[in-house]
Every structure is written in C-alpha cells, then in structure tokens.
Amino acid sequence: MKKIIFAAVLLIFAFSAEAQLKWSDHSVHTLAKGRKEIGLFAPLKYGLKDSLELSVHPVFFFVIPHITVKKYWKSVGSWELGSTHGFAYPNLLYKLISRRGTGGILPENAKIPQLFKFNNSVSLGKSLNQHLDLTFTAGLDLTIALGEGSFPEIEFPIVYPRTYSHNQLITPYLGAHLSGELTGKLQYAYDGTAFFFVRENKGLNLENNLRLQWNASNKLAFRVGLVHSYGTYPFGKMGRLYPYFDVLFGF
C-alpha cells in the first residue's frame, strides 16, 4: 500500500513539472486543438479545432446517445462570444430504468413517447484578471415528443430541471460562470443557473455550483464541489445540497 501511495505522489509531482494548459470549463473558451479530457464522472471532451470542442459521455452514450458541441465565435469589444449545441435521445435509458424492483426509477408500466432533446445556448465572457473570468449564458432546452404517453417526471434536484422539457416542450435558462486562480494550481469555479418553468407547474429552479479544482498537471486534476438546488417541483418548493468529486485526466 505504501508503495502505491509513493508512486502516486511521484506521478503527481512528475506531472506538475509540465507547462500549464487550460482545463475545460463553462467559459466561452474551448479546449486546445487535439487535447482530450475525461473524468471518472465527467464526459469525454475533445478539442476538434482551437475554436471547436466536442463532448460525449463514453459510458452513458450507449444508453442515451448524445453529443454537445461548443464553439468559440469571436471577440465583441472586450467580451468574447461562444455557443453550445447539444442533442440527446434518452428513451433507451428510460426504458432501462422503467422496471420493477431496485433500480426502478420509473414505473414499469410507464408509456413514454419518443423524446428528442435539443439544447442551445449563447455565452458572453470576459477575463478581468487571472483571478476572475466572467461568463453569462442564455439557453433553451427543447424536447420534441412523438407518440402517445407522457414522461413520469423525475422530481429530483438536478434531474428535474433538465427533464422538465420532456413534458413541457421548453425550459429556458440563464447562467453565470465565475472562475479563476486561487493559488498557483488551485482554481475555483462557480456556476449559477436559473431554470424557468414556463408551462405546467410554473416556477423557477436555481442551482448554485461551487467547486475547487487542483490542477496537478496538464494530465491530472482533482475536483471537489457542492451544488445547491432550490426550486419549484410538482409538490411544492424544495432545497437540497449535494457534494461531489471527480478526478480528471487530460491527454
């Protein structure tokens, strides 16, 4: 066990000696051309060009085919413009979790229409100094539902605002992203997002996501964070706080 820890520490220090590259975040900036990143939980991201980034989750892709494209467009005065465009077909996953017994997130007899979910957003960002990057985002989730039935809502924080459009067509949202350097390799990031429920069960869901990331090198980073979700659900209002962590690999 001691040998494994010693080797891990050596590895981290070896990685630390490299020149720093920017890790992916929620700003308008995309990964450098050819760079790839993946986390234990985070999706695989790939810098297709210096201004174009692709993102898919290698595990979930097989049960929820999806892709997200992030594009850096241009500078607009002192601000920079970017956008993201995503598509997902979640029915395979929903069929898998519609079951009796443990893991039955949805009822076995659920009749779910064919769902085609599109996500588009526009972002404006500005780097004030090394301690503060600021990005504002406006986006829209749009789900086209074909066929009979309805989606049995998953009224759980994080999931509910991202599946609201399954039954209600659209979910507009606004977001703000702040990030920067705390000390050397330690960075912080904050994402605040407001989802607007504009059709049935009208209301709002606010997500605050605060995280710390230690960039050991260009190839290894550790992330811990807290996400707080507060908002309207079919049963009323609820607020919840969840911790999370991830280990990111870049290559």
Partner 1 sequence: MKKILALLLFGGLLFSSCDPFHAKIEKDSETDTALYYSSEKISTPASIPDTLTIATWNIKFGGGRIDFFFDCYGDRVLMTKDEVLSNLQGIAQEIKHINPDIIFLQEVDISSKRSAYVDELQWILDHTDLNYGYYGSQWKADYVPSDGIGKMDSGSAILSKYPLSNARRIPLPLIEEQSGIVQYFYLRRNMLRATATIGAQSLEVITTHTSAYSTDGTRLKQLKEIKKEIDGVAAKGKKFVLGGDFNTLPPNTVVFEKFDDGACDDDPDFATHSAKDELDYMNLFLDTYEPAISQADYDADNSPYFSFTSDKNGFWNRKLDYLFTNGDFLDHSGLVHQNSERGGAETMPLSDHAPVSVRLILK
Give the binding site for partner 1 (CB under 8 A): 98-110, 152, 154-157, 182-183, 210, 212, 224, 226, 234-236, 238, 240-243
In the complex, minimum distance from the CB of residue 191 to partner 1, in angstroms, rounded to a whole number: 15
In the complex, minimum distance from the CB of residue 235 to partner 1, in angstroms, rounded to a whole number: 4
Name which of 76 and 97 has its Cβ closer to partner 1: 97
Q: Report the alpha-carbon distance of residue 89 to residue 116 in Å, rounded.
A: 5
Name which of 175 and 225 has its Cβ closer to partner 1: 225
Cβ 191 vs Cβ 175: under 8 Å:
yes
In the complex, minimum distance from the CB of residue 197 to partner 1, in angstroms, rounded to a whole number: 15
User: HSE (CB half, 13 Å, CA atoms) of 43?
Assistant: 17
Name which of 75 and 150 has its Cβ closer to partner 1: 150
In the complex, minimum distance from the CB of residue 163 to partner 1, in angstroms, rounded to a whole number: 13
Q: Report the alpha-carbon distance of residue 143 to residue 140 in Å, rounded.
A: 10
Match 């301690």 to its residue by tokens.
Answer: 131
Exposed/middle/buried for residue 160 (C-beta within 10 Å: 0-12, 13-18, 19+): buried
Name which of 54 and 106 has its Cβ closer to partner 1: 106
In the complex, minimum distance from the CB of residue 131 to partner 1, in angstroms, rounded to a whole number: 12
In the complex, minimum distance from the CB of residue 107 to partner 1, in angstroms, rounded to a whole number: 3
Concatenating the DSSP letter of every residue in 163-175 gives HHHHHHSEEEEEE
User: HSE (CB half, 13 Å, CA atoms) of 220?
Assistant: 12
| Radius of gyration of the chain from its Cα atoms, rounded to whole angstroms | 20
Name which of 82 and 90 has its Cβ closer to partner 1: 90
Cβ 226 vs Cβ 239: under 8 Å:
no
Q: Which two structure tokens, joined as six digits, stand for 97?
A: 């979790």
Name which of 34 and 234 has its Cβ closer to partner 1: 234
